[in-house]
Amino acid sequence: MEKGLVIINTGDGKGKSTAAFGTAFRALGHGYKVCVIQFIKSPSDYGEILSAKKFEDLEWHTEGRGFTWNSDDLEKDKAVARKGFELAKEKINSDKYDLIILDEITYLTNYKFIDIEELLTILNNKPDRLNIILTGRDADSKLIEIADTVTEMKKIKHCFDDGIKAKKGIEF
């Protein structure tokens, strides 16, 4: 059995989540079981969620209520995040998956919705074969330390700065 990896996609450039979903696509091709848990974002008709329904071996959970800088109630955000985190723990410990993606999880530790030490313990004790991808800006240095592969997406340009709004099929 090959040892699974802990992978982090971080940085301020575009491509953290989509690179993770690309890996899911690759893993599914090999018959791997994949679970995606998306934090922060609220359920909506995102292209990736619509696509996910087409894959039998792909499970998708959306455990958020929108981006926190728009939040009207941080306590509610925290409760939703905690619930998502409990689900993540359950999925990780189930040993039913080959790849689990924790999308935008860095916000949970950065906003102190969850304890970084608790996340580190879970990652350090994950089932051997399981690969885990964590995405989000400003990944904590303690996460970077224990990860096997860390990539920083660096913004060179983003069309958003030229006033081009989020584009269907590209951003959502």
* 16 counts as binding Mg ion under rule CB under 5 A: yes
Judged by CB under 6 A, the chain residues 77 through 116 that form the site for ligand ATP are 104
Of 39 and 85, the one with the shorter C-beta distance to ligand ATP is: 39
Judged by CB under 6 A, the chain residues 16 through 75 that form the site for ligand ATP are 16-18
DSSP the chain: -PPP-EEEEEESSTTHHHHHHHHHHHHHHTT--EEEEEEESPP---HHHHHHTT-TTEEEEEEE-S-GGG-S-HHHHHHHHHHHHHHHHHHHHHT--SEEEEETTHHHHHTTSS-HHHHHHHHHTS-TT-EEEEE-SS--HHHHHH-SEEEEE--S--GGGGTPPP-TTTT-
Judged by CB under 6 A, the chain residues 142 through 171 that form the site for ligand ATP are 153, 155, 158, 160, 166, 171
Residue 110 binding result from ligand ATP, Mg ion, none, given CB thresholds of 5 to 8 Å by partner type: none
Residues that bind Mg ion (CB under 5 A): 16-17
Residues that bind ligand ATP (CB under 6 A): 12-18, 104, 135, 137, 153, 155, 158, 160, 166, 171-172
